[in-house]
Amino acid sequence: MKNTSRRNFLRTAMAATAGSLLVSPALAGYAAKKSPFKISLAEWSLHKALFANEMTNLDFPKFASEHGIKGLEYVNQFFKDKAKDENYLGELKKICKNEGVDSVLIMCDGEGMVGHPSKSERVKTLENHKKWIDAAKFLGCHSIRVNAGSQGSYEEQQKLAADGLRMLCEYGDTQKINVLVENHGGLSSNGNWLAGVMELVDHKRVGTLPDFGNFIIDRQTGEEFDRYKGIELLMPYAKGVSAKSHEFDEDGNEIHSDYYRIMKIVKDAGYKGWVGIEYEGSELSEKEGILATKRLLEKVFDSLA
């Protein structure tokens, strides 16, 4: 068997093995008791199935529950017109209760530029996000995740993003919902820049959602901020963690990010709580990639316990 074929075979076999291993409640419960971390699932991990209408947002809780995952990180575009629909949100909340899963956060995209140079546009962005803060409150989430996009110089963008985030946090205060920023491209993927924004906002509701892999500042030039330094810089403000995964080696390790090294940084920062699987690979199916990431996280959690 050629090396490449053997590698692909082993990766698929590893994912299948992960699925069989994860069905043991006793083992899962034992690991959970030792660890300060809980595993959640970013809905984007299933974006291919969702865009293909092979499943809906209402199917998301059952999928997570069936695969031993107890936390949900929604993506707003998969229920874009339902943020104010109490019947829909009520049904979603009921499904979550029946499946024994928790709603953790809502990732919000397409609702305007938080750090827009125009004050009126920043206010408009605030108004667009209010419904998602309200929905997060209704579902029992602790946060929404926003993008800190802006325009101008390094310092100007920091000030503009901080102003928009502070407005969001002030509304978040009324619902006791946090406002998190992920390193999600552009200057937000510069750990120094985003940490500086957090300092400027200086609000108890603001926080970061450090993503293991989103440290590419410029996709055209390939400029990338060191992911390990980035995680270190963002963890003091973290209210969530996103375990990005793409590809795995024969031992089940993610080939782009050293999960052991990153989770050691996360633990040393004193973080406790949800770590969200966000699989974006193509070699494994979405289900297999999610299970492979889950298995890896559980191994890492055990090693740190």
* Domain housing 120: 35-304
pLDDT tens by residue, 145-168:
999 999 999 999 999 999 999 999
The pairing of strands 223-224 and 216-218 is: antiparallel
1 within domain boundaries: no
28 within domain boundaries: no
Give me the number of domains the chain comprises: 1
29 within domain boundaries: no
User: What is the structure's pLDDT at 4?
Assistant: 43
- What is the residue-averaged pLDDT of the chain? 92
Tokens standing for 287?
A: 């289900």
268 within domain boundaries: yes
* Average pLDDT over every residue of 96-117: 98
Tokens standing for 4?
A: 């490449």
**Which DSSP string do the residues of the chain spell out, in sequence order?**
--HHHHHHHHHHHHHHHHHHHTT-HHHHHHHHHH-SEEEEEEGGGGHHHHHTTSS-GGGHHHHHHHTT--EEEEEGGGGGGGTT-HHHHHHHHHHHHHHT-EEEEEE--SS--TB-SSHHHHHHHHHHHHHHHHHHHHHT-SEEEE---B-SSHHHHHHHHHHHHHHHHHHHHHHT-EEEEE--SGGGG-HHHHHHHHHHH--TTEEEE-BSS--EEETTTTEE--HHHHHHHHGGGBS-EEEEE--B-TTS-BSSS-HHHHHHHHHHTT--EEEEEEE--SSS-HHHHHHHHHHHHHHHHHHH-
Is the confidence at residue 23, as pLDDT, over 90? Answer: no
11 within domain boundaries: no
Residue 152 sits in a domain whose CATH number is 3.20.20.150
User: What is the structure's pLDDT at 16?
Assistant: 45
223 within domain boundaries: yes
Tokens standing for 206?
A: 């603001």
* Average pLDDT over every residue of 249-275: 98
On whether the CB atoms of residues 288 and 12 are closer than 8 A, the answer is: yes
9 within domain boundaries: no
27 within domain boundaries: no
pLDDT classification of 283: cutoffs 50, 70, 90: very high
Q: Could you give the CA distance from residue 292 to residue 231 in angstroms, rounded to a whole number?
A: 22
